[in-house]
Amino acid sequence: EEEDDDDEQEEEEGEEEDDEQEFHSCSNVEVTSSFMAAMLLSCLDRHDDAMVQLQKFRFSHRIHPNVWKMALGSQDSDHKKKSAIDSTVMFEPRMYHSKEGVLPQEHYSRLCRLFAPEANYWDQSDYNNRGYYSYYFDITKKTRNVVEDAIVNHLLPMAERTLEEEHKSPAPKIVGAEWWVHTRPHSANLGHPLHFDTDEWLLNSKHEVSHPIVSSVLYLTGGGAGAGSTIVFNQTPDSTDNATQVWLSEPKNNHFMNFPGNLLHGVLPCVGGSSSDGDIDKNRLTLMVGFWTRDVTKEMKNRRLYGPCGPLPPATEEHSWVMEAQKKVKQASGNEVEATALKVVSPAWETIDYSDKEEELAPLDVPASLDHQYFVSNAPHCFTTRLFSKDNCD
């Protein structure tokens, strides 16, 4: 009888272990696999299959399939379609380009080397382990390195041109620039979360939202299919309705994209492809610049090194990338550039339908580390809520 009792106890313990394994399987494996499947299927233009996975999370909206199709090139752009400009959109996003590229060749080559995947910058700034960080400088002062020189002498004139073309009265005056860089594998990367560009110190200390007058992306390397398109929504933190359209920017090397700094934006994930510029082995490397009409550092009580709008690190061996950036660059007149409107996709969001679901199942929790806001609940308020949450990221 004692042996039978032991057998029963072992069976009960075994059942408990099975229950635990099943529970962990549901909470971890199924959640991650279902979410990643939805993202991958969306990238592959298999949106009906993606919907099955998304319904497990009880999302209310997803980026409309037509946006993914446009990014894949499986849907032609309607060039006759006019984008709907309203009071939330200060100017229409645009791409500046030139046959020679928007930057002179020496500036362009220097930036590509300074921020190449194997360059010192990434380890010395601890890029993979930090949250958001950037550098701010006063554009009225003498430039100190090749990045600032490229911004002031070549990118700033295009941002000013954007504002001048959109304002009947004198355009707002830009006084400072905030810059940061991102690198992603050319193919099979997870994109970049939808977010708003903000004054991070003001947001965290006073819970106030302020944006650069112009946000911008300089595409350095990895342009072409498989790089991941930048997407910009006609949606701000004050929007009470969902965005109605998306501007889609296809990365092309040495091209410069401008958009209003208060608009929601991010980068779509991608499953790979071939680079149109023949550099598929290079990362998707981008230099972002936020152009400000006020000195955002004036109210900051302390500017943290490798923090939002931080100071430039000292030119020491510990920050040898700064020494490299400070090497003189041969001055050259800017290339003649022209601006082109971005592709426009409408609608921006699709409501997720649950009418075919007979039973109400407990929704899976969205994995925070993978949640790039391509699929959301409680739109559009979720984006503003995220701004003030601890998980906010740029």
Q: What is the pLDDT of residues 346-369, one digit of tens each?
A: 999 999 988 877 666 678 888 888
Question: Would you state the pLDDT for residue 83?
Answer: 58
Q: What is the pLDDT of residues 250-286, one digit of tens each?
A: 999 999 999 999 999 999 998 765 545 555 557 899 9
**What is the reported pLDDT for 117?**
93
| pLDDT for residue 9 is more than 60 | no
**Paired tokens of 6:** 């032991």
pLDDT at position 24: 35
pLDDT value at residue 393: 39
pLDDT in tens, 66-94: 999 999 886 665 544 555 556 678 899 99
pLDDT at 372 (0 to 100): 92
Average pLDDT of the chain is 87
Binned at pLDDT 50, 70 and 90, residue 20 comes out as very low
Q: What is the pLDDT of residue 272?
A: 61
Look at residue 179 in the predicted model and tell me its pLDDT.
98
| This model's pTM is above 0.75 | yes
Q: Taking residues 229-251, report their average pLDDT.
A: 96
Q: What confidence score (pLDDT) does residue 25 get?
A: 44
Q: What pLDDT sits at residue 195?
A: 95
pLDDT in tens, 333-346: 778 999 999 999 99
User: pLDDT > 90: what percent of the chain?
Assistant: 66
pLDDT, residue 80, reads: 46
51 has pLDDT over 50: yes
Q: Given a cut of 90, is residue 174 above it in pLDDT? A: yes
Q: What is the pLDDT of residue 358?
A: 62
Looking at residue 339, its pLDDT comes to 97
Is the confidence at residue 3, as pLDDT, over 50?
no
Whether the pLDDT of residue 16 is over 80: the answer is no
